[in-house]
Structure 1
């Protein structure tokens, strides 16, 4: 019985330690404010972004849902395969290289960036996403269909592996005529953003 009690006590201490390791949820609206969103739109305005989206919209603009589903399934299958033609083509695209450089320059502030076309299919990304089609998710449904200035800020999530709070900033991307052509998702390291925003001691 003492051994069981000891195991239970150790387990309880471990669980309480894990709970203590999770800090309070950051004030996402205070951190990801209008200035932060405007700064994000600035680097998304680089010509490589609309050029890449428009090129894919021309290539895949008239896909049926069945064709979209097939591409998405191909992506998921390739993630577990040694042969990755679709994933390799996307990750080696100029837009993906640009997004990777943007992410690297932030020194940990961005943890993932990807850009979608008018179908919600990935055009470029800084790392391999779980799927290729985002059109059935809020990141796309709450931005692209809602106009050029649409912004959707998702709820913060605790990343237990990296011990950081993250949240996705999602925006519509439009052309020079303010016509929506795609959308972008930027996953922000809220823990790092809060650290940078804190007054110097």
Structure 2
């Protein structure tokens, strides 16, 4: 009975997410504001040649990678993050050129953008502006709904940030190859909802 119930719930979620947007949030006004804030017109870096090249380069590097290897890299990252010690994989990504570019995007956003995480076609981190507890996002909705699903936007319900007190939402959008318009990765953009209208 439980399997049947889970299957029905899964089907319902699939139907709800079959359109162009899939949201944990149910506020249509917020969706419209977020959609405008993360559009390629508002965030031209989504199609910036350097960002596209970084994603494509990592896609090529990891072409044909086995899931066991992804799990191994992810487990090493998680262990380092949990221990709070050195994490060479994170340090390498945080210091790369695309991460530096994304940090400039965050710094120049007037507080509207709090964080950016750039992922490849496997859901592995390409560039990031803050720490993450894991290296592989391919098992999470922020990547799955956008890359393997049909949504062009996946966003979460706003949650209060413990440090700043701001209400933040995560909005994930596809990164497209401008040449063929096919999806090559996903960008998750964390937004301060109170500053979106500014």
TM-score, normalisation: structure 2: 0.78
Aligned to 2:71: 69
* Matched position secondary structure for 2:41: helix
Task: Give the number of the structure with larger relative contact order, counting CA–CA contacts within 8 Å between residues 6 or more apart.
Answer: 2
Aligned to 2:33: 31
Any runs of at least 4 consecutive aligned residues in structure 1 with deviations exceeding 4 A, and if so which?
none
Kindly indicate whether residue 132 of structure 2 is the aligned counterpart of residue 119 of structure 1: no
Aligned to 2:48: 46
Q: CA deviation at 1:40?
A: 4.3
Distance 1:83 1:164, change over 3 A: closer
Match of 2:147 among 133, 138, 144: 144
Query: What are structure 2's unaligned runs of at least 5 residues?
Result: 1-26
Q: For the residues of structure 2 that align with 1:82 and 1:26, how far apart are their CA atoms? A: 42
Aligned to 2:10: none
Query: What are structure 1's unaligned runs of at least 5 residues?
Result: 1-24, 197-201
Kindly indicate whether residue 188 of structure 2 is the aligned counterpart of residue 179 of structure 1: no
Distance 1:179 1:26, change over 3 A: closer
Choose 1 or 2 for highest CA Rg: 1
Aligned to 1:90: 93
**Deviation digits for residues 92-129 of structure 1 (CA, Å, limit 9, x no counterpart):** 11110000111011131111101000100000001111
| Map 1:2-41 → 2, pairs under 5 A | 27-34=29-36, 36-41=38-43
Q: For the residues of structure 2 that align with 1:40 and 1:134, how far apart are their CA atoms? A: 25
Q: For the residues of structure 2 that align with 1:137 and 1:173, how far apart are their CA atoms? A: 17
TM-score, normalisation: structure 1: 0.77
Note if contact 1:61-1:118 (Cα within 8 Å) is conserved in structure 2: no
Note if contact 2:36-2:42 (Cα within 8 Å) is conserved in structure 1: no
Note if contact 2:38-2:189 (Cα within 8 Å) is conserved in structure 1: no
* Matched position secondary structure for 1:142: helix
RMSD between superposed Cα atoms in Å = 2.1
